[in-house]
Amino acid sequence: MKTFIQYHRFKVIFLLIASSLFLLTTCIDDKPKTETADTVTPKITRDQFAGSAACASCHQDIYTKHLNTAHFLTSRVADEKSILGSFEAGSNLHAYNNAEVIVMEKRDSGFFQVEYLNGAEKRSARFDITVGSGAMGQSFLRWHNQQLFQLPITYFTAANKWSNSPGFANKPTFNRVITSRCLECHTTYAQTISPPNKEPEQFSTDKMIYGVDCEKCHGPAAQHVSFQTANPADTIGRHIVNPATLSRQQKLDLCALCHGGRLQKTVPSFQFTAGDLLADYFKLDTAVPDPQQVDVHGNQYGLLRSSKCFKMSDLTCNTCHNTHENERNKTALFSQRCMNCHSQEHNNFCKLKQLPASTLIKNCIDCHMPQQPSKAISVFVSGQQVPISALIRSHYISIYPGETEKVINRKSK
């Protein structure tokens, strides 16, 4: 009997301990989980966007000019107008070798990159999306099962020819995956519809807002458009971001989202918006960039931040760039903006004596922010053994003696 009582007491104690552990575990499991890039509830959704065309009724002049910018043209539906490369016989192919060729062809169902091996068609893929304004070149994407892949052939503006896409192996490759982070910089919005961690990601084909348009820099505008339509007399501009009112860092982060080097996202793409700080959405690229390494996908913000001009002023990207207009190659215009700080009146004008002041005023840029060969956009075109590189302007503002010598010699002739 005594043994039975001890056994029964032990059994009760064991059950109490087990029950306590179960309750403790349940309490721990019920605690809110830390949100990650895969579990965070999105704050930005497609229905919050109005589309840039909605801006035209009140901002017609700005809207019309913006349509010609590289930002707006950085992604479009691929068609006869958006694809710059030729489809004419003799100018519509890229040969890897004597046997392997990709030919750009117009067919009844669209435009295609068609791979031929020893004259026989091996496979084809349609041009679905054009990426790039054409200032340096254009790449092209194809849809497959709501996934996006980059096509193997690029249009390279410097040579006015088709070429192997930058970074591709020297063979036809049709399976380079396009991620939401790629789209974050080449579209205003793209909706991922695949489960977290599924690769390749899947996207809604009818909910993509092409180009980097008004709402990329001013924030989603559906609520703004709705309010202003109902209250046309209210001219303050409600439910919209005016970047001019942002802090210096907020302005810089808005550009650094796509021009800030290698950023590792900590929440899903397309959740950062105008007025946010990058550090809340990304692990930032804190490495000091090499001024000799320029790249269209590089860290222009990091180069600018390393410059003496940046450190000694309140300079931001918009000090020099009017993103509402296409100002590409307007050297004199950019130089005039330099004159706002570096003028004879301020006693800090250029000290170069070999050229007259009237010439220097029109071109500070080529000496202090020279164009340099891109390390990333360097391609082989058919029939050439030496790669051709796109020229990209450095954003490290400094003195480049070799470039200055080139400018002097060019102007002296």
Q: Tell me the percentage of the chain whose pLDDT exceeds 90.
A: 69
Domain ranges of the chain: 72-212, 241-286, 291-413
pLDDT for 413 equals 65
Q: Using one digit for the tens of pLDDT, what is the confidence trace for 74-121?
A: 999 999 999 999 999 999 999 998 999 999 999 999 999 999 999 999
Cβ atoms of 274 and 217 within 8 Å: the answer is yes
pLDDT for 317 equals 96
Cis peptide bond N-terminal to 200, omega within 30: yes
Is 40 a residue whose pLDDT tops 70?
A: no
Average pLDDT, the chain: 88
Rounded to whole angstroms, the Cα distance separating 386 from 365 reads: 28
103: nearest Cα among 174, 111, 94, 80: 94
**3-class secondary structure per residue, 64-95:** HHHCCCCCHHHEEECCCCCCCCCCCCCCCEEE
Q: Using one digit for the tens of pLDDT, what is the confidence trace for 225-278?
A: 999 999 999 989 999 999 999 999 999 999 999 999 889 999 999 999 999 999
Q: Using one digit for the tens of pLDDT, what is the confidence trace for 381-406?
A: 776 767 788 889 999 999 999 999 99
pLDDT for 367 equals 93
pLDDT for 159 equals 87
Rounded to whole angstroms, the Cα distance separating 105 from 111 reads: 6
Return the structure tokens found at 14: 């064991």
pLDDT for 230 equals 95
10 Å CB burial of residue 11 (0-12, 13-18, 19+) is exposed
Rounded to whole angstroms, the Cα distance separating 69 from 321 reads: 12
Cβ atoms of 337 and 327 within 8 Å: the answer is no
pLDDT for 18 equals 43
Q: How confident is the model at residue 139 (pLDDT cuts 50, 70, 90)?
A: very high
Is 26 a residue whose pLDDT tops 60?
A: no
Rounded to whole angstroms, the Cα distance separating 218 from 10 reads: 69
Rounded to whole angstroms, the Cα distance separating 229 from 235 reads: 11
Helices (H), 260-371: 300-305, 308-311, 317-320, 331-338, 357-360, 365-368
136: nearest Cα among 407, 379, 299, 331: 379
Is 37 a residue whose pLDDT tops 50?
A: no
Q: How confident is the model at residue 21 (pLDDT cuts 50, 70, 90)?
A: very low
More confident residue, 41 or 161: 161
pLDDT for 39 equals 53
Q: Using one digit for the tens of pLDDT, what is the confidence trace for 279-311?
A: 999 998 888 888 887 887 889 999 999 999 999
End-to-end CA distance of the chain: 117
388: nearest Cα among 160, 221, 218: 160
- What b/e string do you get for 58-93 counting C-beta neighbours within 10 Å, with b at 16 or more? eeeeebeebeebbbbbbbbebeeebbebeeeeeebb
pLDDT for 348 equals 87
Is 4 a residue whose pLDDT tops 70?
A: no
Rounded to whole angstroms, the Cα distance separating 96 from 60 reads: 47
Is 49 a residue whose pLDDT tops 80?
A: yes
What is the CB neighbour count within 10 angstroms for residue 395? 23
Q: Using one digit for the tens of pLDDT, what is the confidence trace for 372-382?
A: 988 777 777 77
Q: Using one digit for the tens of pLDDT, what is the confidence trace for 351-364?
A: 888 888 888 899 99
pLDDT for 336 equals 93
Non-local (6+) Cβ contacts of 365 within 8 A are 331, 334, 335, 338, 393
Q: Using one digit for the tens of pLDDT, what is the confidence trace for 331-349?
A: 999 999 999 999 888 888 8
pLDDT for 381 equals 79
Beta bridge mates, 389: 378
